[in-house]
Amino acid sequence: MVDSGPEGGANGRQGAARDHRGAPTAQGTARQALNSRRTPCFNPGALHLVIGAGEFLGDHVSRALAAEAPVIELRADVDDETLADAIKSVEVVHICAQTWSPASRLKNRREPPELLRRIVEAARRAGVRRLVHVSTIDVYGPDHGGKITEKSKLKPTHPYERLKLYEETWLADAAPALEVVVLRPARIFGRGEDWMLPNLMRAIARGRVWVPGGGRVMQTFIAAEDVGRACLAAADRGRPGKIYLVGGFDATWRDLLESSARAAGIGAEIVNVRALAAETTAPRGEDVWPNVLAVDVMGKAHLFDDSVSRRELTWSPSVGSFEQAMPHMASWLSELPGVEPYGRAEEATSPPTR
């Protein structure tokens, strides 16, 4: 069930989800809107449910939504009873949980993640109006010459890319009675990201980071908090059945590493790594870093045009550079396992011959 406990109120939690014994659970909490600093919600009274609390993206989306509307948060491992109780009065469900890990060795399959199936079934029974599903730009695959738009050809190559695309198509077929809106964000960065930046920062702390192409390939990035703002816009103004690209700004991985190194108080040499080189040295059965997907993510251009979402959703990102985000990320970067700030921050460099 969802109720208001002693912590409820304008500055506390409201409607914490509880288990079948009536005890508060870590699987569900609610945040009440505090102000309307950003794009106003057309229906500020609508209750939003975020699936993926406690994860990198889910937490950022929850905070962004909570600035405008009441929000309930549930972890991806929520049990059926808690999910059914929490979803009863919900109008919009935001699916932000990590259903597949890009860091793991994955195999292609033609069945949806169990979590998606359970969410759709619970939403049907509860009469939820809309599902906002956060997918990924990776469904387009790594090989595109120009800027990607919603009409660009889908060319997924890696299992992760194919699995994420299958999620989208399965949702469209499995939930015809629900208004499904899909967001495909650019490369997401921010405090708490748990795949790319932590691995790169550990290498920086050791004095040298190897990046495909020296990290000079231009890509489109988006701050995690702006994905949350896009979710709110999609909940209000997205067209049912529509897919939207959402981005922030164009930059390089080198730009991100230089900003992150300065923020953490460390310096490093950024050099080029040959594609697939890590595959030859990884212990059998262990996750590879960088794996083939990570090499393509960092080493190939991923630029896209999100003018459709900006026009139809009437939204725009609030973060326009890595430097703008660093004050919020600095303490997290410096406390990452294997990262120990030392001395004065040095500017990251790349030898001209590499």
Residue range 113-130: average pLDDT?
Answer: 95
Strand order in the sheet with 243-246: 28-31, 71-74, 48-51, 92-95, 130-134, 179-185, 243-246
How many Cβ atoms are within 10 Å of 258's Cβ, its own excluded? 22
Q: CA end-to-end span of the chain, whole Å? A: 59
Contact at 8 Å (CB) between 284 and 214?
A: no
> How sure is the predictor about 206, in pLDDT bands with cuts at 50, 70 and 90?
confident
- Phi then psi dihedrals of residue 49, to 5 deg: -115, 125
The CATH number that applies at residue 224 is 3.40.50.720
Domain assignment present for 278? yes
Number of domains, the chain: 1
34-38, 217-221, 339-343: least confident range = 34-38
Q: Which two tokens stand for residue 81?
A: 């009873």
CA distances from 341 to 266, 325, 327 (A): 5, 19, 16
CA distances from 125 to 50, 85, 241 (A): 18, 11, 20
**Boundaries of domain holding 158:** 28-334
- Cross-strand partners of 188: 222
pLDDT tens sequence across 249-286? 999 999 999 999 999 999 867 887 665 454 444 455 55
Contact at 8 Å (CB) between 201 and 339?
A: yes
Domain assignment present for 6? no
- Cross-strand partners of 63: none
> How sure is the predictor about 105, in pLDDT bands with cuts at 50, 70 and 90?
low
Residue 5 has pLDDT above 50, yes or no: no
Domain assignment present for 340? no
Contact at 8 Å (CB) between 317 and 247?
A: yes
Query: Distance between CA atoms of 258 and 252, rounded to whole angstroms?
Result: 10
pTM here is 0.82
Q: Which two tokens stand for residue 278?
A: 């890590």
